[in-house]
Amino acid sequence: YMYCAGKFLTEMENISYHVAAGNIDKLLLGEIISAFINEEMDSEELKLKIFNAINVETVKQIVTKKEGL
């Protein structure tokens, strides 16, 4: 079990940051955890969902900075 736990913690480190930042919602987090358990983390569809969730916040930050100038 320790191997699985270590791998899970390594994989979820960046995900947990984005969950805390509010970029990844419960639904997407559930999909990510299910994919990890089923060893489907290489799914292109899932990768795109994660990418889009993370980038939405990044784009908002850039727009906010430009509006503040």
What tens digit of pLDDT does each residue of 12-66 get? 888 999 999 888 999 999 999 999 989 898 999 999 999 999 887 777 777 777 7
Distances (CA, A) of 69 to 54, 57, 63, 65: 24, 19, 10, 7
CA distance linking residue 20 with residue 3, whole number of Å: 25
State the pLDDT at residue 27: 97
Mean pLDDT value of segment 6-15? 87
| Rounded to 5°, angle at Cα 14 from 36 and 68 | 140
Q: Place 10 in a pLDDT band, splitting at 50, 70 and 90.
A: confident
Of the candidates 47, 51, 65, 57, the residue with the CA atom closest to the CA atom of residue 22 = 57
- Token output for 26: 């419960």
Identify the pLDDT of residue 1: 65
Residue positions counted in the chain: 69
